[in-house]
Chains A and B, each alone.
Chain A
């Protein structure tokens, strides 16, 4: 079992719809979680981070954390073509930060 798992996609969403990206983690001791966006050929950029159970909203983005289910998600509302990218989930455990393989998201105009 991978430490942090994401569906590799591609996930195809129509413009204006909600894109839902999911991530599960195996280390129950993980305390903080991060979502990064990476455009092709570019470096990852931080979108959101979340430490507590529940939802955290920032503009069109909402991160959701459920520690009991070891599940993190990222919702993108009113998806735009510019949101097309690979989204990386990362979990901070006691010893190290672990990244998932990323989900490729395509927003169709």
Chain B
């Protein structure tokens, strides 16, 4: 089975721009979660989607949004980028309450 696939792997954007990150979960996994990780920080939970519905949301501003499609693929969007948004963005999928499986992440740099 293929693992969780995130695209792109690296991204450089300028302040004020917007960005869309993509995640394809493991086949059969209907739950997709997104995390932000900055240097020295733990995993900061962004949101979780299940069957195209947002099931949980972390404490991030409205600039961060996401969605999930009928094939369980998910996208995350960040608008009006700030320097502090530079981070590793991780997507993870799971089946039921089984362990999360993480993708390789998208490293976003905002200049």
Which one of A17-25, A53-61, A66-74, A96-104 is at the B interface?
A96-104
Task: Tell me how far the C-beta of A30 lies from the nearest C-beta in chain B, rounded to whole angstroms.
Answer: 11
Q: Is the CB of A32 within 8 A of B97?
A: yes
Chain A, interface SS category: strand
Q: Is the CB of A99 within 8 A of B105?
A: no
Please pick, from B45, B48, B90, B99, the residue contacting A43 in the complex, using a CB distance under 8 A: B90
Q: Which A residues, 48 to 105, have Cβ-Cβ distances below 8 Å to chain B?
A: 49, 88, 90, 92, 95-102
Known A-B contacts A88-B42, A88-B43, A99-B42; A43 and B103 likewise in contact (beta carbons under 8 Å): yes
Please pick, from B41, B100, B105, the residue contacting A34 in the complex, using a CB distance under 8 A: B100
Known A-B contacts A32-B97, A43-B90, A44-B90; A100 and B42 likewise in contact (beta carbons under 8 Å): yes
Q: How many residues of B contact A (CB 8 A)?
A: 17
Find chain B residues with CB under 8 A from A32 CB.
97
Asked if B79 is an interface residue, CB under 8 A from chain A, the answer is no
Q: Is the CB of B102 within 8 A of A96?
A: no
Complex CA gap A34/B99 in Å reads 7
Residues of chain B whose beta carbon lies under 8 Å from any beta carbon of chain A: 33, 41-43, 45, 48, 56, 88, 90, 97, 99-105
When A and B form their complex, which 5 residue pairs have the shortest distance between CB atoms, in order from nearest? Answer: A101-B42, A43-B102, A99-B43, A46-B99, A43-B105
Having A46-B99, A99-B45, one finds 11 other A-B pairs with CB under 8 Å, namely: A34-B99, A36-B102, A42-B105, A43-B90, A43-B103, A43-B104, A88-B42, A90-B100, A92-B97, A97-B33, A101-B41
